[in-house]
Amino acid sequence: MPPATGGGLAESELRPRRGRCGPQAARAAGRDVAARAAARNPKRPARGSRRFETASRWALLALVTLLSFATRFHRLDEPPHICWDETHFGKMGSYYINRTFFFDVHPPLGKMLIGLAGYLSGYDGTFLFQKPGDKYEHHSYMGMRGFCAFLGSWLAPFAYLTVLDLSKSLSAALLTAALLTFDTGCLTLSQYILLDPILMFFIMAAMLSMVKYNSCADRPFSAPWWFWLSLTGVSLAGALGVKFVGLFVILQVGLNTIADLWYLFGDLSLSLVTMGKHLTARVLCLIVLPLALYTATFAVHFMVLSKSGPGDGFFSSAFQARLSGNNLHNASIPEHLAYGSVITVKNLQMAIGYLHSHRHLYPEGIGARQQQVTTYLHKDYNNLWIIKKHNTNSDPLDPSFPVEFVRHGDIIRLEHKETSRNLHSHYHEAPLTRKHYQVTGYGINGTGDSNDFWRIEVVNRKFGNRIKVLRSRIRLIHLVTGCVLGSSGKVLPKWGWEQLEVTCTPYLKETLNSIWNVEDHINPKLPNISLNVLQPSFPEILLESHMVMIWGNNGLKPKDNEFTSKPWHWPINYQGLRFSGVNDTDFRVYLLGNPVVWWLNLLSIALYLLSGSIIAVAMQRGTQVPAEVAGLSQVLLRGGGQVLLGWMLHYFPFFLMGRVLYFHHYFPAMLFSSMLTGILWDTLLRLCAWGLASWPLARGIHVAGILSLLLGTAYSFYLFHPLAYGMVGPLAQDPQSPMAGLRWLDSWEF
């Protein structure tokens, strides 16, 4: 049978090389295919042909890179106002410039890079980033947008090089690059101050580096092998340092490494010493190096953010003591708690906050209509309480009143300083948590009833011991009902100002939700001690910050009337996301994937599962096929399988997540589905050309197919590019709108 000629590549380019395309366990099959192909065609490509192919690769890479940068930087300054999540990440960049501590649910690397880009481009960190639509005016924002666009522009070249290495096909690599270059969704995400282009840059860099070091498997411990292996580790640290989604690409590299080591373990020609070297190299480059870099980003993060800011309340009192400007930094307060002291009481569970009350009442139908008691994450005068004896209203701060310390086991009252109501509980059910009791503020000028009495206990202490500020872990047991004061961590509705629910639980098992410490302590009758001794070590800070981030991620639930999406929406491009503008007079930007690209990707996944299953079954049954078909089949199974695994790892975990989800969470998976599309269609078209080799026009089937896909993708980008670059005028529902005929799904709201 004649060889496939549709793609213009030599047969030596079609057959897989040793260690080239992903899982190492398939190398033996690849060597067999290569041997059969060499027997059929012993002639090597001419030196001039090899030079031409190399020049073609570099020329197409330059073209892909130029197109990617041109599309990302075109009209980058529009609109000159905040769009969508720029309000968050631009503000966090400002915090780094101002060295102000803040809290975010993501690791710090992406925000640090945004802040650095702003600082180097002349932004002074004074813009408030209050809400979408606020104009930047004289503030320099192009440096931060330009940095994100720069990283987003590398996605197409990285995908081109990755697919080229997996498939050995220029046409597959070019098609993949075109899918990403002409996707309106990738373009939109790359043009704004967001974490997504930074995250996708590191994910694609890790994928490319992994494929490259796989291709050097026949030259272990050479300079290129070490370079790509180390760069893989650096990229993994970068991906995880931007978002925890980076764990998915870490898992992919881990699975590839396990398969690689398993193959080497089965190679009996390798000595145990050599195996030890292989294992050590991967541990150093793929575990130790990423962990060291990831930890270093947090060290820089804590070193730069040295001033007190809006994130203080999410962290422990000891953590706050290290922040300049915080009332605990270099502070001195009385060491032991005494009656009459004005205090704040902080929950030891991460990101629960301070015991808080305000003048608002619980609404009708929710327990007793008494004053609300909540927890609040920020410093506030409504967090202040006065600790008093349970059976007297005399003022302990009266100079004639002797100092009396609060001890473990004492019966106390907590009077809210601002409203003079006592901390109170009763048998009414809590507003959100069933079988827990409601906690309220009750009484007038400190006068209430016996339901205001609490027994204060220090965890793991004996009766009579004094209570130390900051250090003693205390519980408050309600004297009448026997329940323990705690916080469920649930967010109250708007009537509760979206603060956290406080309950009194009858289940007395000790949990962090029901353990508190006294933080602020004001009592002029007592001597003060310095709090510098409480500042935690770096490992303690690192551990606490991760606990707070994990809690924060789990606590991201959709708010009332907030737009969210579901994972099954994403691959079908069911609904986009409004970045800017609502009315026909607004400058409107709408995040939506190029439907031709996305639906082609979806079709490709289905076709790959079908064709890959057929090929795998045929190969397992020992079906004899020509060397050309065997080589193409290996490319499809190995290269396509590698990127299909990446798509699955970056998509399916979202079905298990309870946090709020948005459309943009799918874009890392979309990168892998686009690479699969490039490999699949190039391989299928080559197989068609090979199967129809006796037809007069068979030679052009592959070329015509690839050109059709490229032109279709480019034309669809021409039609939908106003979504990314912005549009003004009639809405798509208006027949006069130029976008009216392009609203192919009713769920598209552009």
For the segment 604-609, the average pLDDT, to the nearest whole number, is: 95
**What's the confidence (pLDDT) of residue 21?**
38
Structure tokens at 75: 């009209």
Banded model confidence at residue 537, pLDDT cuts 50, 70, 90: confident
pLDDT of residue 179: 97
* 3-class secondary structure, 328: coil
Percent of the chain residues topping a pLDDT of 70: 90
Residue 40's pLDDT band (cuts 50, 70, 90): very low
Give the tens place of pLDDT for each residue, 354-405: 999 999 999 998 989 999 999 998 889 999 999 998 877 666 666 667 889 9
Give the global pTM.
0.82
- Peptide bond between residue 79 and the one before it cis (omega within 30 degrees of 0): yes
CB 461 within 8 A of CB 480: no
Q: For position 558, what pLDDT does the model report?
A: 62
- Name the token pair of 321: 């003591």
Question: How confident is the model at residue 625, as a pLDDT?
Answer: 80
CB 224 within 8 A of CB 210: no
pLDDT at 529: 81
The tens digit of pLDDT for each residue in 539-598 reads 989 998 998 888 777 766 665 555 678 899 999 999 999 998 888 778 999 999 999 999
Which residue, 642, 683, 633, is CA-closest to 16? 633
What are 253-309's pLDDT values in tens digits? 999 999 999 999 888 888 999 999 999 999 999 999 999 999 999 999 999 999 999
- Which DSSP string do the residues of 503-532 spell out, in sequence order? EEES-----GGG-EEEEEEE-TTS-EEE-G
d(CA 71, CA 182): 8
The closest of 449, 428, 452 to 503, measured between CA atoms, is: 428
pLDDT of residue 20: 38
633-671 tens-digit pLDDT:
888 999 999 999 999 999 999 998 877 888 999 999 999
Q: How many CB atoms lie within 10 A of CB 315?
A: 23
Report which of residues 353 and 12 the model is more confident about. 353
List Cβ neighbours of 394 (8 Å cut-off, separation of 6 or more).
Answer: 401
Dihedral (CA of 688, 692, 693, 699) sign: negative
Query: What distance in Å separates the CA atoms of residue 398 and residue 393, rounded to the nearest whole number?
Result: 12
Coil, helix or strand for 472? coil
pLDDT greater than 70 at residue 45: no
pLDDT at 9: 38
- In angstroms, the CA 221 to CA 425 distance is 69
Quote the CA–CA distance of 412 and 455 in Å, as a whole number: 6
Per DSSP, 395 falls in state -
CA angle 349, 355, 356 (to 5 degrees): 140
The token pair at 559 is 């708010």
DSSP β-bridge partners for residue 518: 345
Neighbours of 30 (CB within 10 A): 22
Cα–Cα distance for residue pair 320/336, rounded to 1 Å = 20
Q: What are the Cα distances from residue 328, in Å, to 334, 424, 540?
A: 12, 29, 18
Supply the mean pLDDT for the chain: 87
Query: What are the backbone dihedrals phi and psi of residue 702, each rounded to the nearest 5 degrees, phi first?
Result: -65, -45
Parts of the chain belonging to CATH 2.80.10.50: 332-530
Residue 693 in 3-state DSSP? coil
pLDDT score of 602 more than 60:
yes
Closest CA to 725 of 741, 711, 739: 739
Tens digit of each residue's pLDDT (9 = 90 or more) over 402-415: 889 999 999 999 99
Of 736 and 22, more confident: 736
User: Can you read off the two tokens belonging to residue 67?
Assistant: 């197109």
pLDDT of the residue at 556: 67
- Tokens 């005399």 locate to 394
Q: Where are the beta strands (DSSP E) in 538-678?
A: 577-580, 589-591
Higher-pLDDT residue of 511 and 143 is: 143
Beta bridge partners of 455: 411, 477
**pLDDT range class, residue 8, cuts 50, 70, 90:** very low
Q: Say if residue 224 is preceded by a cis peptide, omega within 30 of 0.
A: no
Q: Which fold has domain 332-530?
A: Trefoil (Acidic Fibroblast Growth Factor, subunit A) (2.80.10)
One-letter amino acid of 125: G
**What digits encode the pLDDT tens for the residues 462-521?**
656 889 888 888 999 999 999 999 999 898 999 999 899 999 999 877 677 899 999 889
What the block records as the tokens of 436 is 């827990």
Q: How many CA atoms lie within 13 A of 351 on its CB side?
A: 21
pLDDT of residue 643: 96
H or E element at residue 594? none
Find out whether 604 and 676 touch, Cβ atoms under 8 Å: yes
Provide the percentage of residues in the chain whose pLDDT is more than 90: 62
pLDDT in tens, 705-747: 999 999 999 999 999 999 999 888 887 777 777 777 888 888 8
Who has greater pLDDT, 6 or 547? 547
Per-residue pLDDT at 165: 94
Band (pLDDT 50/70/90 cuts) for residue 534 is low
Residue 400: predicted pLDDT = 67
Helices (H), 4-46: 11-14, 27-40
Average pLDDT over residues 92-112: 95
For residue 457, CA distances in Å to 53, 338, 396, 735 come to 78, 14, 21, 71
